Amino acid sequence: MSATAMQVESAKKAGIERIRNIGIAAHIDSGKTTITERMLKLSGRIRKLGEVHDGEATMDFLKEEQERGITIGSAATHFVWEGHNVHLIDTPGHVDFTAEVERSLRVLDGAVLAIDSVAGAQAQSETVNRQMNKYGVPRLAFVNKMDRVGADYAKAIASIRKRLNLNAAPIQVPVGEGPGFRGVVDLVRQTQVSFPPGCEDPADFVVGEIEDSMVDTCRRERHILLEALSMFSDELMEILLAEEEPSLDLVQRVLREAVCFHRFVPVLCGAALRNIGIPPLLTAVVEYLPSPVDKGAVTGHEPRTLEPLRFDPTPDAPLGALVFKTVHFPTGDLTFLRIYSGTLNAGDMLYNPRLGKTERAGRLFRVHAASREAIESATAGMIVACMGIKQAATGDTLCLKQRPIAYGATTFAKPVISMAIEPVASADRDKLGEVLGIVAREDPTFRASTDPETGETIVSGMGELHLEVVAHRIRDDFGIRVTTGKPRVAYRQTISRPAKIEARHIKQTGGAGQYAVAVFELEPIEGDEVEFIDEITQGRITKEFITSLEKGIRDHFLGGGRRGAQIQGVRVTLVDGKMHDVDSSTNAFYACGGLAARMAEEQCRTILLEPIMRVEVTAPEDYFGSVLGDLNSRRGSIEDVGAEGTDKVVSARVPLVELAAYSTTLRSITSGRGNYTMEPQGYQPVPASVLEKLEKVEKDAPARR
């Protein structure tokens, strides 16, 4: 048996306490995939390093990822480190694929947040940090690229504290910065980890005493670290007050508890591309991030009664598993599962509470990027893939029918941009419809629909890159040549003022009539929801009819009303109504709800809203004036101007409609030396001058058609 196989066997016997389910998340180009590649090499999972820029990284196995040099889909793998089974998910950094980060973080117990040593915490760093907070994911911060010119460890840590609002402090200090970076000092163990010049193997390092030039700095930084940790431990505080040296065991225990309970974020550093700093990072992952046992039982609810329900994270508990991703293959869909409790065997019957249906699990696999290893069973704490499940979607729970549990759906951002898509060959039209259904099942932020006026197929997503990747996949993976129209922005509407509306849908045609009367109070609210409140008393309208009223209103608002832009941010309160013993029906009250929604458009005066993006542009100072001028011409609102080494960084809020082909323009005005990122920042009213132009385009559209 090989050394690696012996490690795997040892880790299996160690149990759930030695499982670590982690992800690596960060702003784009922070080195997530490179870090993962080094972890795999270091653990013996792969024999040869593959580089992202060469299109050979193990985790970037999709054709689009290899051609573009970016991560598009989250990829799972597993390996063993120091007797621990580590399940790792490498996530994208580009905002267009933020759903991949969202669904991955939901099923992870811990994460590594990678930060660029020069840029510090950036726009997408804030987004993934919010997602980690949303799902209560403890994290380590890893300041990467410490070998870059302009690397500043202290500045990067300060940005983590300020921009991400995290209680962060270093547990390592770098030995040198920039091109002279050659190792790290472990403040917990008080040892120095050195890497040779031109290090070609992440396992090539030496642990020794701290060099003389670093002693004073490390003593000062260790004191700061211990003082920070003493806030979480009376025992440690007493030892420090007595000016005594705490034991290594105590410091590690307090540090681990502080991380697991989301009170503290330890910061480490390295240069993954140069193979520096990965062994201490991996050791910190298994020492300080929680196991499934540390995280405890995940709360779900009983599907019928909705009462809170928790199953222990043990193999003997009832089965509870969450679907977090599905991937289509010609031989059958691959469904990725996080098992929270119990044991899943190949061939087991699984119950889906959302659908109220049961289906059989086929083969089970442990996944390593594009390859799979068949297994007979999987237990609590594991992340696995299953072949044979045909109906489950992302966010569904799979459990036993006799002991059901539901963990609740995963929420995703709504699409912000749309475009028309058509097959080149008309014979492929039906096939394209099937393929779009497959893509929508895999990707929760992708939508496909048919324009009722033009008959065009419209696809919607998170950005131009998102839709471009989908179009390329349809061509390359499914063999359908398609043409695409210019991307269109997904506008929204809201109401500008409250109103009280009485909707009367009364018709008498000689036979059975239609009778429905309802009185509503409408008011604008913050957010993108439509709230419906039932204040009917004395049974003036039955629950069945109230449900039809609500559906009529929601369907009209969702359909976009007169402008065709979804209506949101409205509270609808049903205060009164009438029904008829003979002529009232669900259809009549549904029509009444639609009538009320149309009346609301007139009386509450709808406002058109446009999606706003937060754009962060980095460019050399010589081009800074051109960048600012271009952003202003795009109706951009400048929020902040800073510096990143010798470059300037500007943050602005810009309407999405103004950002068409922005990457091409930025390359042109900065001679190819500028780059940018963007993320959704909500909606705001369309200015009157712009609204006038849009309405003119809408008016001219029928003539063109």
Q: Does residue 668 fall inside a structural domain?
A: yes
Q: Does residue 700 fall inside a structural domain?
A: no
| Cβ-Cβ contacts under 8 Å for 289 (sequence gap 6 or more) | 20, 22, 109, 110, 111, 138, 139, 140, 259, 260
Residue 702 has what pLDDT? 45
Q: By CB neighbour count within 10 A (0-12 exposed, 13-18 middle, 19+ buried), where does 686 fall?
A: buried
Tokens of 10: 């040892």
Q: Does residue 406 fall inside a structural domain?
A: no
Residue 700 has what pLDDT? 58
Mean pLDDT of 135-147: 95
Q: What is the pLDDT of residues 19-58, one digit of tens each?
A: 999 988 888 778 888 898 889 889 888 877 755 545 555 6
Q: What is the pLDDT of residues 581-603, one digit of tens each?
A: 888 899 999 999 999 999 999 89
Q: Does residue 257 fall inside a structural domain?
A: yes
pLDDT > 70? residue 94: no
| In a shared domain, residues 43 and 150 | yes
CATH of the domain at 383: 2.40.30.10
Mean pLDDT of 327-344: 86
Q: Does residue 468 fall inside a structural domain?
A: yes
Percent of the chain's residues with pLDDT above 90: 50
pLDDT > 50? residue 328: yes
CATH of the domain at 482: 3.30.70.870
Q: How many CA atoms, within 13 angstroms, populate the side-chain half-sphere of residue 83?
A: 7
Average pLDDT, the chain: 86
Residue 8 has what pLDDT? 40
User: In this predicted model, which residue has the larger pLDDT, 381 or 418?
Assistant: 381
Q: Does residue 698 fall inside a structural domain?
A: no
Residue 81 has what pLDDT? 92
pLDDT > 70? residue 189: yes
Q: How far apart are CA 28 and CA 23, in angstroms?
A: 15
Q: What is the pLDDT of residues 665-697, one digit of tens each?
A: 887 888 777 878 777 888 899 888 888 777 666
CATH of the domain at 659: 3.30.70.240
Answer with the one of 346, 365, 399 that is the final residue of a domain: 399
Answer with the one of 604, 627, 652 that is the final residue of a domain: 604
| In a shared domain, residues 648 and 578 | no
| In a shared domain, residues 266 and 209 | yes
Q: What is the pLDDT of residues 387-396, one digit of tens each?
A: 988 888 888 9
| In a shared domain, residues 210 and 174 | yes
Domain span at residue 558 reads 497-604
Mean pLDDT of 430-450: 88
Mean pLDDT of 373-385: 91
| In a shared domain, residues 577 and 525 | yes
| In a shared domain, residues 254 and 119 | yes
| In a shared domain, residues 80 and 120 | yes
Count of domains forming the chain = 5
| In a shared domain, residues 438 and 335 | no
Q: How far apart are CA 221 and CA 187, in angstroms?
A: 8
Q: Does residue 696 fall inside a structural domain?
A: no
Answer with the one of 463, 489, 515 that is the final residue of a domain: 489
| In a shared domain, residues 462 and 527 | no
pLDDT > 70? residue 60: no
| In a shared domain, residues 554 and 617 | no
Cβ–Cβ < 8 Å for 156, 120: yes
| In a shared domain, residues 599 and 630 | no
CATH of the domain at 100: 3.40.50.300
Angle at which helices 429-442 and 464-476 cross, to 10°: 120
| In a shared domain, residues 167 and 50 | yes
Tokens of 448: 């496909």
Model pTM?
Answer: 0.75
Q: Does residue 320 fall inside a structural domain?
A: yes
Residue 594 has what pLDDT? 94
Mean pLDDT of 185-204: 90
Residue 59 has what pLDDT? 56
Residue 582 has what pLDDT? 84
Instruction: Choose the weakest-confidence range: 143-152, 237-246, 325-334, 335-344.
Output: 325-334
Percent of the chain's residues with pLDDT above 70: 91
Residue 704 has what pLDDT? 36
